[in-house]
Amino acid sequence: MAEADVGARALAGDRRVKDSVKIDREEVKRQNRIAGEAAAWAKARQDQETRVEAIAEFRRRIEDLRTKARSKTESSERRVARRTLNLLFANYYEGGNSAALSGNHVKAVEMLEVAVEIAPRYAGSYFALAGQRFKTGDRRKAMESLGQGLEKLAEWATISAATVKKPG
């Protein structure tokens, strides 16, 4: 038997490894539940009767996740919040890009607007949103999104420049 197989079997039987795998599975279940709830609120935004409440609830839940994700203390709650935000952002950003590629620019705008709310510091979302708004004929909002993207890019460049150590 190879040495790696022996090591793998030993790890598989270790109580700490089993506990860690169990915790990870529970975190993934919580992450998927929270993401599903947030997605339901995002979808409810399309219904004119529930739109105002749905937008407020979605924003509240995203802000709650952000607060937990920014915690200085490593915890299960922090990991779940970070993973959930990343999952939601990827879903809406990629979904928006996919809708754009298929020519459904209205759907792309809807999805990219949600992506911007989830990750408002990411300039790329604003640029993608600007392009789709332009394609739907909303040039005013397209220019607004483009300007917001440029602002986020400038913020990032300023922060990055401040953190670079100068030689010497």
pLDDT tens-digit series, residues 104-120: 999 999 999 999 999 99
The winner for highest mean pLDDT among 33-42, 62-71, 153-162 is 62-71
Write down the mean pLDDT value for the chain.
89
Distance CA 16, CA 79 (A): 19
Distance CA 60, CA 41 (A): 11
- Selected residue with higher pLDDT from 167 and 147: 147
| Residue 156 confidence (pLDDT) above 70 | yes
Q: Determine the pLDDT at residue 45.
A: 83
**Is the whole-model pTM more than 0.85?**
no
Q: With cut-offs at 50, 70 and 90, classify the pLDDT of residue 91.
A: very high
Q: With cut-offs at 50, 70 and 90, classify the pLDDT of residue 24.
A: confident
SS (H, E, C) 119-167: CCCCHHHHHHHHHHHHHCCCHHHHHHHHHHHHHHHHHHHHHHHHHCCCC
Three-state SS for 14? coil
Q: Quote the longest CA-to-CA distance of the chain.
A: 68
Q: Determine the pLDDT at residue 10.
A: 65
Distance CA 153, CA 125 (A): 11
- Selected residue with higher pLDDT from 12 and 134: 134
Q: Determine the pLDDT at residue 159.
A: 80
The answer to whether 151 and 144 are in contact (CB under 8 A) is: no
Distance CA 92, CA 58 (A): 14
